[in-house]
Every structure is written in structure tokens, then in C-alpha cells.
Amino acid sequence: MAQRGMGRGFLLEKPDRPITPGTTRRIVHFFRPYRLEVALVLAAIVVISVVGLANPYLLKAIVDDAIVPRNLHKLTLYAALMVLIPIITGIVGVGQTYLNNLVGQRVMRDLRNSLYRHMQEVSLRFFSNTKTGEIQSRLGNDVNGIQNVITNTASSIVSNFTTTVSTIAAMLLLSWQLTLLSLALLPFFLLITYKVGNIRREISKNTQKSLADMSALVEETLSISGVLLTKAFGRQRQSIARFERENQNLADLEVRQQMVGRWFFMLISTFFSITPAFVYYLAGRIIIGTPPHGSPAITIGGVIAFTTLQSRLFFPVGQLLNVQVQIQGALALFDRIFEYLDLPIEIRSSPTAVKLDPATTEGRVTFEHVGFRYDGSGERPDLEDVTFEAEPGQLVALVGPTGAGKTTISYLLARLYDVTEGAVRIDGHDVRNVDLRSIPDVVGMVTQETYLFHTTIRENLLFAKPDATEEDLVAATKAANIYDRIIEMPEGFDTVVGERGYRLSGGEKQRLAIARIVLKNPPILILDEATSALDTVSERLVQDALNSLMTGRTTLAIAHRLSTIRAADQILVIRRGRIVERGTHEELLVRGGVYQALYHGQFEEGAREPAPELDGPEPALASAGRPYDDTPELS
């Protein structure tokens, strides 16, 4: 496949973009469907905060109106109210916590769904340039990193703000002098908190980047393929050293993130702890300095109530100061998530898109002066002026050196990319005007690198046709000559194939891929030397069944084997993104040129001393009635 320079500059190589107010608006957007629940949470928070103010005033009343005048009736009433209020606020608090977590988890669910849905629509260009571990980190680590902010921080802000405002108001009613003393250094703390938040935001970005890098490293080196490669080359020590370096970097960043501002918050905590001493001292001076028969500005009960309010104030103020730092770090994670949500959707269905029906699609494929560039900045296009037509039922073989553009042509037909120039048509319909959801129904792909999910054989087959019956599965697997092997397995169709199908041999994986395409039954086939992993015996057995599948279906084959090419109705020789020759095998040999040079260079020496062939030719491409041709590859 011509992947040269694919998408250079596409993958998030730009500097970190600044966090804007738009980030906050987008966060709020995810809460809109739950406006009623959010309103109930806010109402509960206000009720708890306001009702909670009653206790300090009840303390004042108990001292000044009940104990000092020795009023037992009032003492009983006030004591009963002090018991009742926590019960009421506790019940309301449980309901508020439930709604708060319900909303938070639903927002998290919606955010994950939006991100996953968007990633499914992003073009293949992005995934060809992005580490899988990086994508997993965005979906996992980054989203999980904001969970606490979404679930708890929003309600915490409202709760602490309401508590702070109402408490300061109550304190002012008791003594404005003591209130000013308690709040004297608050503006200074707010300024320092803002600066600490900016530092933590930057560290948070670097921490998540390091976490993504480590996730990518683990995904690459601890997959079955990665472990096999590491062991085969004896590079375990190097892999361990690389992991340990990244792990140490992550650990250092985590320590920095946790320690940022700790001295500052220690200072705040110390100030809040010693402030009551100053309050008692000032209140004592006021009371002691009042004449014996005068009325003091604050009573003993008032001092008790004030210090109770003050202790009630310190926690929410501390939380508000700390939450600003947490939010700054969380905004960095939100911005990373929104960066993925903002990735452009390059391949879309047009408003007037036509839906193709596999039952009525003839399968005529037309390329009209097609030009294509993967990144738009290459010195030359990846495809240039590619023009050909495949009639329904015809086999078109694409041959040429690696990187010539063969796979790119097949990707344009499946509309995994859009052409830069010209048009690709199916039955006369430009694929850009065909409903995206219907293209996979009429175009089936089987590639050399077979991908199987880490699940059962049954589930892997049903991926092609979810409503397939047991009889459909049996027929498809028999057609691909894999049925007998499946029933030999202990669990049959319910056998788990392992990661990427690693528990199966290469030939077995390829035959399962062929069974999937048989099950799907599309009118157009794209075969990237799809049976190259089959051994000679298996290939001969499956040849007749696949020839039946070919009947009436257009096939575009990226061919390396001579048997494939000889069977083709049309051979297209691709070189540097252009069709340099076209015709049948015999016509091209007689004509001379690139194809003839490839043929003689590959086969003349091998004809005198034939090498053993490990993989048979493409059985699906051998025409009915033609003899089996056990020949070397043409590349």
C-alpha cells in the first residue's frame, strides 16, 4: 500500500492550543439533557446550606436565652431543633448525592459515547498516523481523569459557594469586626491559588501525555505480536529500560502534580486553624472592655455562635481555593478530549446520497481520471489519471511494485478515502454521492492481514452479518473450507480465537476472513491476495467454492501470483501511481514493456529450478475450467 507520507502534519503535531471560554460552554452542553436533575441538586444544596446556618444561632440562643436566664422550656425546644435539623439535612443530602452521581455518570457516559462515535467516523488517515495506545489513553485515562470533576466538583462548587456566602452573611450579622478579621487575607489566598492552578494545569497536560505514551508503549510491546518480536530479537532488556524510563518520568510528574501548592495550602490551613485564637482575643477584649452595666457589642453566646460559623466557613473556603486548582488540571483534560472531538470528518454522506441495494447492484466499477494525494503536499500525487472500467462479473488484477498505489485504488473504491481528482463510480453512481452505510453492503474486502476480534469464531463471523442463522454460518465456513477444522475444535463455533486470532494459523485466519465475505455476499469484491496464506491442499479444496462466489461479481484483486493474473479479464500494471500498461496476460506478454520485464525477471530463472511454494495461488481468481497453476509470485 502506498502509505508514503500519509497525513503528515495531520496528527496533533501543533503546539497545545490555549484553553478558552468555549471549553466551559462545551462542558455545560453535556449537562443540558439533565437540566431538571441539576436544578434539584442545586435546590437541595441551597436547602442544606441555609438550614445548616440554624445550628450556630441555636447555640447562641441556648446560651443567651436558655442557660443564662435558666429557661428549661426554651432549652428543651432549642436542643430538640438541634437534633431535628441534622436529620432533615442528612435525608436531603442523601437524595442530593444520588442525583449528583446519577447526572455525573450519565454525562461521563455521553462524553465517552460522543468520543467513540466521533472516532468511528474519523477517516483512516488519522488512524494510520496515530498510536493505538494514544487513542486508548484519550478514551480511558483522559475521560477517567475528569470523572471526579464532573461527578463531584460542580456540585462542590455550588455547595461551598452557597455555604460561604450564607455563612459570611450570618457572621456579619453577629459582628462585622470579627468578620473582617477572619477574611483579611482571603484576597491574597485567591491570587496565589490562581497562580498555583496555572502551574498544575501545565503539569497535568504533561502527565497525561506521559500516561498516553506509556499506554502506547504497553500496547505495542505487551501485545502478542510485540512480545513475540521482542523475544525473537532478544530485546527484552532494552524494552524494560525504555518502559522504566517512561515510568520514572510519569512518577516524577505525578509527584510534582500532587506537591504543587502544598506549601501554600499548608499556609492556608494553618491560618484557618489559628484564626479562632485571634477571634477569641478580640471578642474577649470587646466584652471585657464593656462597662459592667453596658450592653456588649457581642455576647458570650454570640462568640460561640461566631466561632462555630467561622469553623463552618473554613472548610468550604479551603475547598473553593483548592477546587480552582483541580479545575485547571481538569480543563487541560477536557481540552485534550475536545481536540479529538474536533478532528474533521473527511468522509461524509451527502444530503442527496443514494442508497445502493446489494440485491440490485450490478457491480460495474469505473475509475475516471482519478488523482489522489494522501497529504496534499507530496512532490507527486500518489495516484495520477487512473482510468479503467470493470464490467459486472469481471476480474481486474492490479500488479506492480510495492508502493505503486494498488491498495490505494482499492481504498478509494471502498471510499475509505475520497479522490482528489476525477471520480470513482459504482453502477454509474459517484461513490461520494452514495450513502456511506450502503457502500460496505456492496463492496467486500479481504486483505492479507486478517483481523479477528478476541472473541469466538461465531462472533467474528456474525460481524459480517449479525442476523445470520446457524445454517448460514455452516454454509459460509464450508465454502471457505474451514468448517471441518472448526468442528474439530473443543468448543466449535464458540471457540475463542485469541487476540487478533493468534490461536489460529495464518491459513485458518485467512479462511475465516473468506467465510466472512461469503457470509456478507457483496456484488463487488476487493481481494488483496486474500488466499496467500493458504497451503496448497486447502487452496485447491476451496477453489471451486470461491469460483462459485465469483460468478456475477466484480472482483478487484491486488495480485502477486501468476495464476491470479492469468485468470484476470484485465490486468492493470501500476507504477508510481499511474497505469502504465493494461490488457490480458497474453496481450501484455506479446506487447512487451514493463509487464514482460516483470514476468521474465521473476519466472524464467525459476522455471529452470522451481522453488517450493508455501502458499498457493489465489483460488478465487482461477477461472472455471482452467488448470491449477502452481507458480511463483509476480511482484
Domain region containing 199? 21-341
Cβ neighbours of residue 611 closer than 8 Å, sequence gap 6 or more? 632
> Are residues 544 and 399 located together in one domain of the fold?
yes
Give the torsion sign (CA, 511, 512, 513, 515): positive
pLDDT of the residue at 167: 82
**Could you tell me if residue 502 is inside a domain?**
yes
Cβ neighbours of residue 260 closer than 8 Å, sequence gap 6 or more? 196, 199, 200, 203, 325
Per the CB < 8 A criterion, the answer to whether 590 and 582 are in contact is no
389's enclosing H/E stretch is strand 383-390
Cβ-in-10-Å burial (0-12, 13-18, 19+) of 231 comes to exposed
DSSP assignment string, 605-617:
HHHHSPPP-SS--
Q: Pairing relation of β-strands 395-399 and 578-583? A: unpaired
- How far apart CA 150 and CA 96 sit, in angstroms, is 15
Per the CB < 8 A criterion, the answer to whether 444 and 524 are in contact is yes
pLDDT of the residue at 8: 34
pLDDT of the residue at 163: 81
- Note the Cα 290 to chain centre separation in Å: 69
pLDDT of the residue at 473: 92
> Are residues 381 and 424 located together in one domain of the fold?
yes
Radius of gyration of the chain (CA): 36
- How far apart CA 482 and CA 507 sit, in angstroms, is 9
Per the CB < 8 A criterion, the answer to whether 56 and 170 are in contact is yes
Return the CATH number at 613: 3.40.50.300
> Are residues 168 and 306 located together in one domain of the fold?
yes
Residues of the chain whose pLDDT is less than 50?
1-18, 542, 604-635
DSSP assignment string, 182-243:
HHTTHHHHHHHHHHHHHHHHHHHHHHHHHHHHHHHHHHHHSSHHHHHHHHHHT-HHHHHHHH
Phi, psi angle pair for 407, to nearest 5°: -65, -35
> Are residues 403 and 516 located together in one domain of the fold?
yes
> Are residues 280 and 370 located together in one domain of the fold?
no
> Which amino acid type is present at position 169?
A
Return the CATH number at 182: 1.20.1560.10
> Are residues 320 and 401 located together in one domain of the fold?
no
**Could you tell me if residue 4 is inside a domain?**
no
CB atoms within 10 A of CB 517: 23
Cα distances (Å, whole numbers) of residue 407 to 108, 347, 556: 39, 18, 10
> Are residues 281 and 148 located together in one domain of the fold?
yes
| Whole-structure pTM value | 0.67
- How far apart CA 556 and CA 574 sit, in angstroms, is 13
pLDDT of the residue at 472: 92
pLDDT of the residue at 573: 92
In the listed set 282, 309, 341, which residue is the last one of a domain according to the structure? 341
491 closest CA partner among 454, 458, 538, 451: 458
Q: Residue 481, SS3? A: coil
DSSP assignment string, 425-457:
EETTEEGGGB-GGGHHHHEEEE-SS----SSBH
Per the CB < 8 A criterion, the answer to whether 575 and 400 are in contact is yes
**Could you tell me if residue 346 is inside a domain?**
no
> Are residues 225 and 98 located together in one domain of the fold?
yes
413 closest CA partner among 509, 515, 528, 512: 528
> Are residues 150 and 210 located together in one domain of the fold?
yes
pLDDT digits (tens, 9 = 90+) for 3-12: 433 333 333 3
- Note the Cα 12 to chain centre separation in Å: 15
The DSSP code for 355 is P
**Could you tell me if residue 534 is inside a domain?**
yes
- How far apart CA 35 and CA 41 sit, in angstroms, is 10
Cell numbers that stand for 127 in this block: 488512524
Cell numbers that stand for 592 in this block: 512487451
> Are residues 191 and 311 located together in one domain of the fold?
yes
Residue/partner pairs of 116-124 with CB below 8 Å, 24 or more apart: 118/340, 118/341, 118/343, 118/345, 119/340, 121/345, 121/347, 122/343, 122/344, 122/345, 122/346, 123/345, 123/346, 123/347, 123/416, 123/417, 124/411, 124/416, 124/417
Cα distances (Å, whole numbers) of residue 255 to 81, 259, 326, 614: 47, 6, 15, 55
Bridge partners, residue 557, by sequence: 397, 527
pLDDT of the residue at 15: 36
In the listed set 274, 309, 341, which residue is the last one of a domain according to the structure? 341
pLDDT of the residue at 228: 60
> Are residues 305 and 385 located together in one domain of the fold?
no
Half-sphere exposure of 509 (CA within 13 A, CB side): 21
Cα distances (Å, whole numbers) of residue 282 to 286, 309, 312, 407, 546: 6, 16, 19, 83, 96
**Could you tell me if residue 352 is inside a domain?**
no
What's the total number of domains in the chain? 2
**Could you tell me if residue 318 is inside a domain?**
yes
115 closest CA partner among 334, 368, 388: 334
pLDDT digits (tens, 9 = 90+) for 264-286: 667 667 776 777 777 777 777 77
**Could you tell me if residue 7 is inside a domain?**
no
Residue listed under C-alpha cell 491570587: 191
- How far apart CA 576 and CA 592 sit, in angstroms, is 19
**Could you tell me if residue 494 is inside a domain?**
yes
CB atoms within 10 A of CB 121: 13
In the listed set 341, 375, 408, which residue is the last one of a domain according to the structure? 341
- How far apart CA 231 and CA 358 sit, in angstroms, is 47
pLDDT of the residue at 474: 92
- How far apart CA 246 and CA 591 sit, in angstroms, is 59
> Are residues 262 and 318 located together in one domain of the fold?
yes
